[in-house]
Amino acid sequence: MVSRVSRSLALASVFALAVGLGACGSGSSDEGNGDDGVVTINYWGFAPKSTTADKYKEAFEASHPNIKVNFRVVEITDYPATLRPGLQSDDGPDVLPLAAGGAIAGAFLFEDAVEDLTPLAKATLGDDFADQFGGGYIEQLTVNGKLLASPFVGVTAQYFWYNKDLFDKYSLVPPTNYDEMKKVCDTFAANDVQCFVGGFGGDLPFGGELARTIANSIEPGYWEDAIKGKVSWESPVITETVDVLRKMQADGIIAEDAIAIQQYPEANNIFQSQQAAMIQMGSWYAQYDPKDVSAEAQEAAGVTDPQVFTQLTMPAPDLSGHGNIPTTLGEVDWGVAISKRSQHKAEAEEFVKWLTMTEEGQQFGCSVLEGVPTLKNVEPDWPNLNLSNPELQEANIRQIIEDSLTTTETRNRWIGPETAEAILQLVQGALTTNTPAADLAAAAQSAAKPLDGAADS
C-alpha cells in the first residue's frame, strides 16, 4: 500500500515539476487566435499615451475587422526592463515602438529581437522607400543594414514652450538671452508664478537637454561632438555649461528642487495647470494644443475648472551670452518594430504598414499631434485639429514641421546607456553639489561611452 502511494506521489511530483518547468519555458501561445477568426496583436509601448492609443485602435480596427490591437502602455523609464524579458517570451509584444537612439528605446539596443522591415517597406512602398520618408529617418532606424522599425513620427527638440496668456498678462515677451530671461523670471516671481519648470529627476534626459541648450549657445555642435566621442567632455565648454546651470539655479530660474521632480508627470502638470510660464519640450508637446487634450491634461494636473490657454514655442534663449541662438535638434522620434517572437507576424505587418506606410495612418498620427509626420507630403488634418488658438498654433505647428526638415543635429541618435548616465550625473552634480565643474566634466568623460560608428558619422 505504502509503495503504491509512494509511486503515485513520485509520479505526481514529476508531473508537478514538469508543469512548473513548462511554465518557465517557452511554449507556443495561441491566445491571439479567437474562434471568430479575429486575431489579437499586442502592442507594448511608451507611446502613444493611452487616450491616443484608443483612437489608433479604433481607426485601425475599423479598416481591419479581423485584427484587434491590445495596447499596453509602459512607463517610459521602465520600458527597457519591461521589454527585454517581453521580447524573449511568446507572450510579449508583437509590435513595439523604438527610437533612433537613447538609453531607453534606442533601436540598436534591440537589434537581435526585432524583424528587419526592409522587405515589408520595399513590398509596400517600392525599392525607393527610403526616399519617401523625410531626411534621414530610415537611416536612423537602420542598424547593420536592417531596418529595425518603420518611422512613424519625427521630433524636433530644444524648444522652450511658453504660456502666451501668462506672458501677455504681465506684458512680457519671450526672452532671447540670459538677462531677458532673468527679468522675465523676476516679474513672474513677483506675481507668484513659476517662470521656468524643469523636471530633472529620474532617468529622463531633460536636464541634459537644457545643458545641451546652454552648451550650444557657447559653441554650437560641441555637445553632439562630445556625445560622438569626437571631442572631450573635459572642456571649457562643458565647465562653462555647468557654471551657467548653477547660475540659473542661484538666480531662481531653475527651481531649487528641479532634481526632485520629473518632467513627467510633475513638471508637465505644473506647466499645464498654468503654475509655470515656460517648459523645455520638443515637437511632441504640440499634442496639448487641442482644446480637449489641454483640458484633459489640466484635469489630470488637478485643475477642477480647466481654462483654455495658448501654448507656443519660442527658440531657446542664448543662455551663455556668447551670441549663439541654440539650433533645434531633429530625428525620428519613434518607429514601429515587429518582435521576432511574434506569433502573428502577418497581422503585425498589417498594423505597421497601416500606421507608418500609409497616408491614412501617418496623417492620423500627425493629426493627434504626436509629432512630425515622417512620410513626405503628409500633413495634419488642419481644419479638424480643434486647437486652443487656431490662428497662432497652426502657424506654430507649421514652423515646427519646417524646422524638422532643416535641422542638422540629431537628438538621441548617438546616445547609448553609458553616455546618457554620464550626462544625467553631470547635470545632477551641477545642481546638487559643490563639486568643481572641471571634476564633473572629468567624471563625464570617464563615464561616457560613444556608440560604435558615432565618430565616423
Residues engaged in binding another protein (CB under 8 A)? 2, 5-6, 9-10, 12-14, 16-17, 20-21, 24, 77, 80-81, 84, 87-88, 103, 109-113, 201-203, 255-261, 266, 417-418, 421, 425, 428-429, 431-433
List the one residue out of 94, 90, 139 whose CA is nearest residue 118: 139
Report the C-alpha gap between 90 and 69 in whole angstroms. Answer: 16
- Residue 220 near residue 324, CB atoms below 8 Å: yes
Q: How far is the CB of 50 from another protein (least distance, A)?
A: 17
> 392 vs 443, which CB is nearer to another protein?
443
Q: How near is the Cβ of 57 to another protein at its closest, in Å?
A: 26
To the nearest whole angstrom, how small is the minimum distance from the Cβ of residue 297 to another protein? 17
Nearer to another protein, 265 or 315 (CB): 265
How many other C-beta atoms lie within 10 A of the C-beta of residue 321? 13
Determine phi and psi for 128, rounding to 5 degrees.
Answer: -95, 30
Q: In what order do the strands lie in the sheet with 194-197?
A: 194-197, 276-281, 159-163, 311-314
Q: How far is the CB of 347 from another protein (least distance, A)?
A: 23
User: What are 308's three cell numbers?
Assistant: 483654455
Beta strand 39-45 pairing with 372-373: unpaired
Cα–Cα dist 74/83, whole Å: 9
What CA–CA distance (Å, rounded) separates 416 from 110?
12
* CA 15/CA 419 separation, integer angstroms: 49
Q: Which is nearer to another protein, 10 or 325 (CB)?
A: 10
Helices in 235-384 by DSSP H: which ranges? 236-250, 268-272, 291-300, 345-357, 359-367
- Cell 538609453 -> residue: 103
Do 358 and 129 meet the contact criterion of CB atoms below 8 Å apart?
no
Nearer to another protein by C-beta: 20 or 34? Answer: 20
Q: Which grid cell sits at 180?
A: 531677458
Select 85 or 126, whichever has its Cβ closest to another protein. Answer: 85
- Closer residue to another protein in complex, CB, 109/369: 109
- Least separation in angstroms between residue 121's CB and another protein is 23
For 176, list phi and psi in degrees, rounded to 5.
-115, -15
Cis geometry, peptide bond prior to residue 48 (ω within 30 degrees of 0): yes
- Minimum distance from CB of 257 to another protein (Å)? 3
CB-nearer residue toward another protein: 266 or 394: 266
Kindly state the smallest distance separating residue 27's Cβ from another protein, in Å. Answer: 16
Closest contact distance (angstroms) between CB of 162 and another protein is: 22
Closest approach of another protein to the CB of residue 421, in Å: 7
In terms of CB distance, is 13 or 66 closer to another protein? Answer: 13
The H-or-E segment that residue 13 falls in is helix 2-24
- Pick 302 or 323: Cβ nearer another protein: 302
Contact 117, 124 (CB under 8 A): no
Distance (Å, whole) CA 327 – CA 329: 7
